[in-house]
Structure 1
Amino acid sequence: MSYFKHTIAILLLIGLLPLHSSAQSQTVGKLAPKPLFVDPVYDGAADPVIVWNKKVKKWWMFYTNRRASDQSAVGVTWVHGTRIGIAESVDGATWKYKDTANINYRPTPEYTHWAPEVIEYQGLYHMYLTYVPGIFTDWHHPRNIIHLTSTDLLNWKYQSTLKLASDKVIDPCVYKLPDGTWRMWYNNEDDHKSIYYADSPDLDNWTDKGKAVHDMPGEGPVVFKWKDRTWMIVDNWKGLGVYSSSDLLDWKRQEERLVELPGTGKDDQAIGGHADVIVNQGKAYLFYFTHPGRAKANPAPPNTLQARRSVIQMAELKYVDGKITCDRNEPVYINLK
């Protein structure tokens, strides 16, 4: 080794010479902002799900586009009449509004799209979407889970309406089982908002199997594998409940919930809700939403934009002593691959 190279090696070793900035960015990533994403149309982004768009080579976030800024809304009509919003990112840190999903299932003049689940399998994208047949002032109306497919993630073709435990089902999550078949978890609102599940051999035909989680109601389940375990995170409306399972049937809940205590970041003082998790390069990232105006310390007046608006936030998950934790105040550096 030449004298010059030897000197450089020593300086790098003792930390007196910084690594090249591009190497740092690949290792550390970009600092994600608080909030992570704000919907520019209605200021009501919620229920995120993240998927890689192979065609454009960007990450796409699908979300429920609540009409928080609609001044004419009566009752809960502002959370109805929604279309699914799309934001995109090259790294998972910086998100820009893209469009709304072109979903061709509109059998009624007024309709509502909620809480999509999007997966890719063998070159085809599948969306499982909560469909409500109208725009309603209250919660006492049917909702179904429908199956759509797409080749580009933007234009979606209706395939079927799933026959599940009731006609009030929402928030599907789909996961491939070790034997190659598929399992869906969802919220059955007719049974005290319990988490149910159904199985399918092919993503088209589903058989309902009944209740999956027996100890606590919740919605927005998300199932993922990380640290040699399978996890389920559920919105318990007082933070996110965490379960683990060795067989995807028997779920054990940990005592601590995630994003329950107020954060200190912008728009992050209220409890976190309905989340998605992306496991990438060995790290796990929690994408959740908050209602900033519903912070207990300083709640906004009811039925105002500040009380309705919702934003997407992110935190990195940590695995400690067999449990999942996260600090919503800790800066997140992310560079999704």
Structure 2
Amino acid sequence: MAPDPLFSDPLGAPTDPTLVEGPDGTWWLFATQRRVDDDGPGVTWVHGTDIAVATSDDGGLTWTHRGIVDGLDPGEGRNTLWAPEVVFAEGRFHMFVSYITGVPDRWPGHERHILHHVSDDLVTWEYCGVVPLSSDYVIDACVAPTETGYRMWFKDEAAGSTTWCADSDDLETWGPARPVIEGRPHEGPNVFTLGGWHWLIVDEWRGQAVYRSDDLSRWTPDGHILVEPRGHHADVVTTDDEAWIFYFTHDVSPFEATGAGEDPATRRAVVRVATARVVDGHLVCDPDEPVVLDLRRATRTR
């Protein structure tokens, strides 16, 4: 059985987790490492962040914190790294990470870009450049293979904080971006295949909104999961008949509590895991169900 919570880090706030199998079968968890004890003004505590990494050699039941990932910041001084997406494709590991110059003390007014790095071992990373997308205010990449190449889904804050996508043959050059899920603002898209359907989940800050598709292009709303406890920006690893959803939660949401984010206690976060299944064509997930976790059974591997 997986422990609850599954993982935290020494700074107390791993967010936006993503998981990938390493070259030797060890599993790696990458996450934004928020700075819960930062005493700067406004929301400096969610900026100036590094990417933390932990590994597990027992199928995901226990995790060893390995520190932060070096070599991701192409700029000078202290900058902001968010929401890593790590996939194995074209013979190498690829990381797509959100990037903001500096350590802003407020949310709006600062360009956000998605950077591309490559690695052979998940330790040493080579910077490839900025991914050209729909605006200069994009974050939260998710990448998955298609029948003809690869597709990236991402949040475009310049388009009402909605989900867009772009296609690539090789993860190096990208076609024009287009909207996927519009309407209510959201973030953190994640796409996976389970039970004969493609699924897209997005963080609406009231749980994960679920969408279903048979072609990765046309998406139909299919309710919400992880409403309580409120599951934020998630990653999904599938098996033959079920999926494990890795997400982060706060004991007290810093964006709902009085004096939002001013108390470090409200900033703390943990990574949790829940099991999802397809029942009668719908994605169902009970976060209170004990999770039998063994990533060695995963079908979404490198």
Q: TM-score range by the shorter chain?
A: over 0.9
> Counterpart amino acid of 1:283?
E
Corresponding residue for residue 127 of structure 1: 95
> Is the counterpart of residue 186 in structure 1 residue 186 in structure 2?
no
Q: Distance in 1 between matches of 2:272 and 2:73?
A: 30
TM-score in terms of structure 1 length = 0.83
Q: 2:232 is matched by which residue type in structure 1?
A: G
**Separation of aligned partners in 2, 1:222 and 1:333:** 22
- Structure with more of its chain in helix, by fraction: 1
SS in 1 for 2:181: coil
Matched residue SS, 1:212: strand
Q: Distance in 2 between matches of 1:137 and 1:248?
A: 37
Cα distance in 1 for residues equivalent to 2:271 and 2:54? 11
Q: Is the 8 A contact 1:293 1:300 kept in 2?
A: no
Structure 1 counterpart of 2:241: 282
1:88: how far off?
1.0
Instruction: Specify whether residues 43 and 300 from structure 1 end up closer, same or farther in structure 2 by C-alpha distance, changes over 3 A only.
Output: farther
Q: Quote the residue 1:34 is aligned against.
A: 4
Report deviation, 1:216. Answer: 3.1
2:300 alignment partner in structure 1: none
Change (3 A) 1:278 1:38: same
Matched, 1:248 2:216: yes
Q: Could you tell me which of 13, 24, 36 is aligned with 1:44?
A: 13
Cα distance in 2, alignment partners of residues 313 and 104 from structure 1:
26
User: Match for residue 313 of structure 1?
Assistant: 272
CA apart distance, 1:281: 4.4
Q: String of CA shifts for 1:212-247, please: whole Å, max 9, x gaps.
A: 113432111011111111111110111001111111
1:168 alignment partner, one of 137, 141, 154: 137
Q: Who is 1:146 aligned against?
A: 115
Of residues 14, 22, 28, the one that matches 1:60 is 28
Counterparts of 1:291-306 in structure 2 under 5 Å? 291-294=250-253, 302=260, 303-306=262-265
In the alignment, does 2:179 pair up with 1:211? yes
Kindly state the Cα deviation for residue 163 of structure 1 after the two structures are TM-superposed.
1.4
Distance 1:222 1:314 in 2: 15
Following superposition, the deviation at residue 108 of structure 1 comes to 2.7
Does residue 1:331 correspond to 2:300, yes or no?
Answer: no
What is the CA deviation profile of residues 271-304 of structure 1, one whole-angstrom value per residue up to 9, with x for unaligned ones?
Answer: 11000000134320000000112299x9576411
Map of 1:24 onto structure 2? none
Which residue is 1:200 aligned to?
Answer: 168
Aligned to 1:260: 227
Give the corresponding residue for 1:10: none
104 and 49 in structure 1: CA distance in 2 versus 1, 3 angstrom threshold: closer
- SS of the counterpart of 1:208? coil
Q: 1:147 to 1:166 in 2, by over 3 A?
A: same
Q: Cα distance 1:226–1:143, how it changes in 2: closer, same or farther (>3 A)?
A: same
Shift of 1:95: 1.6
Counterpart selection for 2:80 from 105, 112, 117: 112
Match of 2:64 among 96, 105, 124: 96
Structure 1 residue 210 displacement after superposition: 1.5
| Contact 2:192–2:200 under 8 Å retained in 1 | yes
User: 1:229 is matched with which residue?
Assistant: 197
Report the CA distance between 1:104 and its aligned residue.
4.1
Cα distance in 2 between the residues matched to 1:79 and 1:155: 25
Q: Is the 8 A contact 2:135 2:156 kept in 1?
A: yes
> How far is 1:132 from its partner?
0.6
Q: Does 1:84 align with 2:43?
A: no
Verify the 8 A CA contact 1:119 1:125 in the aligned structure 2: yes
User: Counterparts of 1:98 and 1:208 in 2: how far apart (Å)?
Assistant: 37
Distance (whole Å) between structure 1 residues aligned to residue 16 and residue 72 of structure 2: 21
Is contact 2:18-2:30 (8 Å) kept? yes
Runs of 4+ aligned structure 1 residues displaced above 4 Å come to 298-301
**Cα distance in 2, alignment partners of residues 221 and 104 from structure 1:** 22
User: Corresponding residue for 2:299?
Assistant: none
CA distance, structure 2, for counterparts of residue 73 and residue 335 of structure 1: 40
* Structure 2: 5+ residue stretches without partners: 297-302
Q: Which moved more, 1:130-139 or 1:205-214?
A: 205-214
Query: What is the SS of the residue equivalent to 1:316?
Result: strand
Q: Could you list the runs of 5+ residues in structure 1 that have no partner in the other structure? A: 1-30, 263-270
Which has the larger displacement, 224-233 or 211-220? 211-220
